[in-house]
A and B are shown apart, each in its own frame.
Chain A
């Protein structure tokens, strides 16, 4: 046996093959992200940019003019998120459970029909629903009238109390296809043996779902929750297309995305302030980061995985 000294081989190909992805990702994701964080530490007066440290955040959280709007937007964001969690995900799971039932006919048709809104543009969805719900031209008042429920109708998008919930439900309508598909895939991947073993023990029907399938799809539900969280806290387009940049009525639908847009790019007579806008963007980034961390360390690590 010959004892040759160990000489590490330079694996150039790894660097070469990674380079395009790394370069593109750095240029369009990492650099802008850090530049945003950096921009938040500056301020501009008389066209001179100055380093001001955390003063922008002090303004954002300390100055009532800013903090009121910030907390309002953040609160709305949480409400938007809770509606999704309470409505979208349970419905998604239920739909997936129904669709995966072996005796359901036309399953593919339903699946497609429910998934289609997901691929529509926000602008189309926003305007379509705005028209559907319009008290003047919309079909909602007539439809409700036809079944004797006209008294239930209100200009939902125009009332402070309902507007945000209405928009959240529109968003649920659009995106319920995604949890449905993910859960559907997870349900299909559960091996027959497990279900059959349960049947032998007398667990069938609904209790098979609650006791066997649901625990097995919990990791998928976890992933969906975190996707919903990130999506909701980055939301902007639906609110912007239906309610405009001022997120009316009276800021009741204002979320961090619209607040950031108004501040960063300016609106109407208000000139844009990229520095305060970046401060808000940084705060959004921080909130999402905290949320994702809570999920990764608090929930993900506790989820039990099953191996067959």
Chain B
């Protein structure tokens, strides 16, 4: 008898609960950023719900490595959430082509974003944009201010100054000049080649010319970064060949290294681990006064599931994602992930502020290999990893690396044939 009553009570409560929820629209957000769960629950969702009564948000992230697979099968089965966090370029473009992401080109919020910011979530011709950009990461170098002061090293502006600084640190012998290894390979390309490269190929100008087939990877501006990288190996510490990414992070935060070739996503981790003062400098230019270019790489966006029954409510949310309020909350909660919008965002973290200030001084671009050029086999991004490692180790001449990459790209990419 008591059990029956209990069951009835349970049933009743679910029905009441269901009825209450029916008044509000609940939007489910799919994401791979499970690190951000607390941020969404404590800051973003309350702020949005306060401003938009009647719309509730539910953030349901999955593990980063599984996200693409999980999302694709959910979308195919029709059980995916209303809002989809978009990875840049082909993964999201594939979803749009399949009709699973809605075209958001007409959304009001799109006015808050530059073309570069939107490029990661557009069709190749730029005619349709299907995700609202959220955040980017900026490349540069983080350095140990205490070590610089101790050794009397100045923050380098030009390449000559950069190598002079490295030489000075190496001579002293107390610090590893550059905290980077080649074991995991991607750092060499991401924090090496695509970090310093934009200064050579003039950012967007070179990147777009490469996509259009007007420049080749054998051209000087694409080979020269490898020549510069080939000088890095001497400053990277003993056994850097087997040094992993976490090794490099640890060496730097333990104060054993002076300069860390970085992406801004390191900021929050380094803030909690390093007990010395950190500064950041942008990729050095060839000659003082040259225009500088930075890699301000588009990383996260959010789109609308084309099959969502709550499209209107979802669009309200997406418009809010383009607002200054969202930009400020997001960028301050996750220093190092910078808002892609045109709104002025004041950041409390000095290191993050330093990184983002370069946007005003330099031209922004994104990683050269990400749009279109990594669609075929061989995949240019993966090839660039290997090439950057080979350059640093000196196992291959920079000109040969350029020739190899060009040959691989030309084998499947029509404009480069």
Question: A86 to B241, alpha carbons, bound, how many Å?
Answer: 28
Classify chain A's interface size. 20 to 34
Verify if B91 is at the interface (C-beta below 8 Å from A).
yes
Question: What does the 1/0 interface line of A158-169 toward B look like (CB < 8 Å)?
Answer: 111000000000
The residue from B90, B242, B377 contacting A135, defined by CB atoms under 8 A apart = B242
Verify if B382 is at the interface (C-beta below 8 Å from A).
yes
**Chain B residues within an 8 Å CB radius of A159:** 241-242
Chain B residues with a Cβ closer than 8 Å to the other chain, count: 39
Question: A248 to B375, alpha carbons, bound, how many Å?
Answer: 22
**Chain B residues within an 8 Å CB radius of A130:** 244
Verify if A244 is at the interface (C-beta below 8 Å from B).
yes
Q: Is the CB of B182 within 8 A of A249?
A: yes
The residue from A133, A134, A155, A267 contacting B382, defined by CB atoms under 8 A apart = A267
Q: Is the CB of B369 within 8 A of A158?
A: no
Q: Return the chain B residue nearest A135 by Cβ.
A: B239
The residue from A65, A136, A156 contacting B251, defined by CB atoms under 8 A apart = A136
Question: A248 to B387, alpha carbons, bound, how many Å?
Answer: 12
Q: Is the CB of B185 within 8 A of A136?
A: no
Q: Which one of A6-14, A174-182, A215-223, A269-277 is at the interface?
A: A269-277
Question: A273 to B381, alpha carbons, bound, how many Å?
Answer: 17
Given contacts A158-B182, A246-B386, contact A271 B242 (CB under 8 A): no
Verify if B141 is at the interface (C-beta below 8 Å from A).
no
**Chain A residues within an 8 Å CB radius of B395:** 160, 250
Question: A71 to B323, alpha carbons, bound, how many Å?
Answer: 53
Given contacts A158-B183, A250-B386, contact A273 B242 (CB under 8 A): no
Question: A136 to B377, alpha carbons, bound, how many Å?
Answer: 36
Closest chain-A Cβ to B396's Cβ sits at a distance in Å of 9
Question: Which residues in window 381-417 of B have CB below 8 A to A?
Answer: 381-382, 385-386, 389-390, 393, 395, 408, 411
Verify if A31 is at the interface (C-beta below 8 Å from B).
no
**Chain B residues within an 8 Å CB radius of A156:** 242
Closest chain-B Cβ to A170's Cβ sits at a distance in Å of 13
Q: Is the CB of B370 within 8 A of A269?
A: yes
Given contacts A47-B98, A65-B408, A155-B242, contact A268 B186 (CB under 8 A): yes
Q: Is the CB of A158 within 8 A of B242?
A: yes
Verify if A280 is at the interface (C-beta below 8 Å from B).
no
Verify if A99 is at the interface (C-beta below 8 Å from B).
no
Given contacts A248-B389, A268-B186, A269-B381, contact A134 B242 (CB under 8 A): yes
Question: A250 to B374, alpha carbons, bound, how many Å?
Answer: 18
Q: Is the CB of B247 within 8 A of A269?
A: no
Given contacts A249-B182, A250-B389, contact A268 B382 (CB under 8 A): yes
Q: Return the chain A residue nearest B237 by Cβ.
A: A136
Question: Which residues in window 229-282 of B have CB below 8 A to A?
Answer: 237-244, 247, 251
6 contacts between A and B (CB under 8 A): A63-B411, A136-B237, A246-B385, A248-B185, A269-B369, A269-B381
Interface residues, chain A, CB within 8 Å of chain B?
47, 63, 65-66, 130, 133-137, 154-160, 243-244, 246, 248-251, 267-271, 273, 276
Interface residues, chain B, CB within 8 Å of chain A?
89-91, 94, 97-98, 181-186, 237-244, 247, 251, 369-370, 374-375, 377-379, 381-382, 385-386, 389-390, 393, 395, 408, 411
Interface contacts beyond A158-B241, A268-B186, A269-B89: sample of 15 additional A-B pairs, CB < 8 Å, sorted by A? A133-B242, A135-B238, A155-B239, A155-B242, A157-B242, A158-B243, A246-B185, A249-B393, A250-B386, A250-B395, A268-B379, A269-B381, A270-B377, A271-B94, A276-B377
